[in-house]
């Protein structure tokens, strides 16, 4: 495999707690800073490209965790979420530039538009699906321009900014890379215009191939190139039989109720 095609592999910081099984808190451990630091240091020493830090009300805040853990690592990058609709683009740009500086250019940004409707309402978001993506496009227009050193005046349907400026730029130029996942037509439409890496869940290979082909086709029409990432749960055993047995054991507590409650 050439260096150009070599994938970057990121690990995961379990800021919602860690456990042996999906779909249950049975046997899980509480979130603990020393444990998160140990995971980050191990991933750093083992040569992982970075770590994903999840976001949502079931998790510790990803920005605070990243800023706390980063000084204990050397090369590890931190994939942290911005939430259009929850943050103003100006505040998010300052947070981004600051964390990129204090981590010496090790920040990656995950743009999270969706989320559980119940959780969205708890966070004060009552927008429709289409409106959330409208907000995301406007947010990223302002956010990207600020991080790239522009003075911003913008008046959109949802966001208005007058003389927006970022006084302290990020280390990475023109800004930290943006990651984005969204399978709807609205999500793909925003992604191909605004980000560098399109993300998908670990779905059946044929479905992933079809989605990537669709995104590439839209990007090609607009003269843009995106790279791709996939989030997977990796199970490694000596044989296929042992791996499938481990997979069955991993999900043995998953029920319809736990799926609805999203206990993962």
Q: Could you state, in order of their start, the residue ranges of all structural domains in the chain?
A: 3-261
- pTM of the complete model: 0.91
Residue with tokens 């970022």: 166
Query: What does the pLDDT read at residue 183?
Result: 87
pLDDT in tens, 201-249: 999 999 999 999 999 999 999 999 999 999 998 999 999 999 999 999 9
pLDDT in tens, 11-61: 999 998 888 888 787 878 888 999 999 999 999 999 999 999 999 888 999
Cα torsion through 170, 52, 82, 153, rounded to 10: 30
- Residue 115 in this model has a pLDDT that exceeds 80: no
C-alpha closest to that of 113 among 97, 92, 130, 95: 130
Query: What does the pLDDT read at residue 61?
Result: 94
Question: If one looks up domain 3-261 in CATH, what number appears?
Answer: 3.20.20.30
Mean pLDDT of the chain, nearest integer: 92
Query: What does the pLDDT read at residue 101?
Result: 97
- Residue 262 in this model has a pLDDT that exceeds 60: no
Query: What does the pLDDT read at residue 36?
Result: 97
How many Å apart are CA 119 and CA 255, to the nearest integer? 20
Looking at per-residue pLDDT, the higher value among 118 and 236 belongs to: 236
Give the model's confidence band at 263: pLDDT under 50 very low, under 70 low, under 90 confident, else very high.
very low
Query: What does the pLDDT read at residue 114?
Result: 75
- Residue 63 in this model has a pLDDT that exceeds 50: yes
Give the model's confidence band at 3: pLDDT under 50 very low, under 70 low, under 90 confident, else very high.
low
Share of the chain above pLDDT 70, in %: 95
Instruction: For residue 19, give both structure tokens.
Output: 């456990």
Instruction: For residue 31, give both structure tokens.
Output: 């979130």
- Residue 134 in this model has a pLDDT that exceeds 70: yes
- Residue 146 in this model has a pLDDT that exceeds 90: yes
Does 174 sit behind a cis peptide bond, omega within 30 degrees of 0 on the bond before it?
A: yes
C-alpha closest to that of 151 among 178, 169, 137: 169
- Residue 4 in this model has a pLDDT that exceeds 80: no
């Amino acid at each position: 495999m050439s260096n150009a095609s070599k994938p970057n592999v990121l690990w995961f910081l379990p800021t919602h707690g860690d456990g042996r099984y999906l779909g249950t808190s049975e046997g899980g451990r509480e979130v603990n800073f020393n444990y998160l630091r140990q995971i980050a240091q191990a991933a750093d020493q083992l040569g992982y490209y970075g770590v994903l830090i999840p976001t949502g009300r079931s998790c510790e805040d990803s920005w605070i965790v990243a800023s706390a853990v980063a000084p204990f690592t050397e090369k590890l990058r931190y994939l942290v979420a911005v939430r259009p609709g929850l943050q103003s683009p100006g505040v998010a740009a300052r947070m981004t530039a600051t964390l990129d500086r204090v981590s010496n250019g090790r920040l990656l940004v995950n743009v999270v538009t969706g989320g559980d409707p119940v959780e969205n309402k708890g966070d004060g978001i009552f927008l429709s699906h289409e409106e959330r993506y409208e907000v995301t496009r406007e947010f990223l227009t302002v956010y990207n321009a600020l991080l790239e050193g522009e003075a911003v005046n913008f008046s959109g349907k949802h966001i208005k900014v007058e003389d927006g400026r970022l006084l302290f730029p990020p280390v990475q130029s023109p800004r930290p890379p943006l990651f984005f996942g969204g399978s709807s037509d609205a999500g793909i439409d925003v992604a191909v215009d605004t980000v560098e890496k399109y993300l998908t869940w670990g779905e059946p290979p044929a479905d992933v191939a079809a989605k990537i082909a669709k995104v590439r086709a839209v990007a090609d029409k607009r003269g843009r190139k995106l790279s791709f990432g996939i989030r997977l749960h990796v199970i490694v055993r000596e044989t296929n039989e042992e791996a499938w047995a481990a997979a069955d054991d991993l999900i043995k507590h998953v029920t319809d109720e736990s799926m609805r409650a999203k206990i993962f």
